[in-house]
Amino acid sequence: MIYLDTHVAVYLGSGRKKKLSKEATRLIDKSPLLISPIVVVELQYLYEVGRIGFTPAQTLDVLEGELRIQICDLPFERVATWALEEGWTRDLFDRVIVAQARARGEAVLLSEDARILANYSQAVW
């Protein structure tokens, strides 16, 4: 299982796969993909502040329908417990996204975020 950070979900959901690194593209093509439910919340936030021009529903239509990406169903209580350990960031979205991957047994997380890459050993770009 490979988790996608919000930026990766945005790139894929908007047809901008070329923005991904070669390694990210390789992993996407060979593994089942998941997003944390908090990614959906962050997509809404980005839409509301005008940083993306499409709704979470539009993005999910592409992610789930065309790319078969699933929303992770780990219990939130379990993810929240892991999130308590992510003291390297004050960004709630990053904290939960990394915790979600950790809770799944240190799963790979595709992210271009430098802070995530520096603080989660299974983060790849």
Measured between its terminal Cα atoms, the distance across the chain in Å is 16
pLDDT in tens, the chain (125 residues): 999 999 999 999 999 989 999 999 999 988 899 999 999 999 999 999 999 999 999 999 999 998 899 999 999 999 999 999 999 999 999 999 999 999 999 999 999 999 999 999 999 99
For domain 2-124, give the CATH superfamily: 5'-nuclease (3.40.50.1010)
- The confidence score (pLDDT) of residue 10 equals 96
pTM given for the model: 0.94
85, 88, 92, 95 alpha-carbon torsion, rounded to 10°? -50
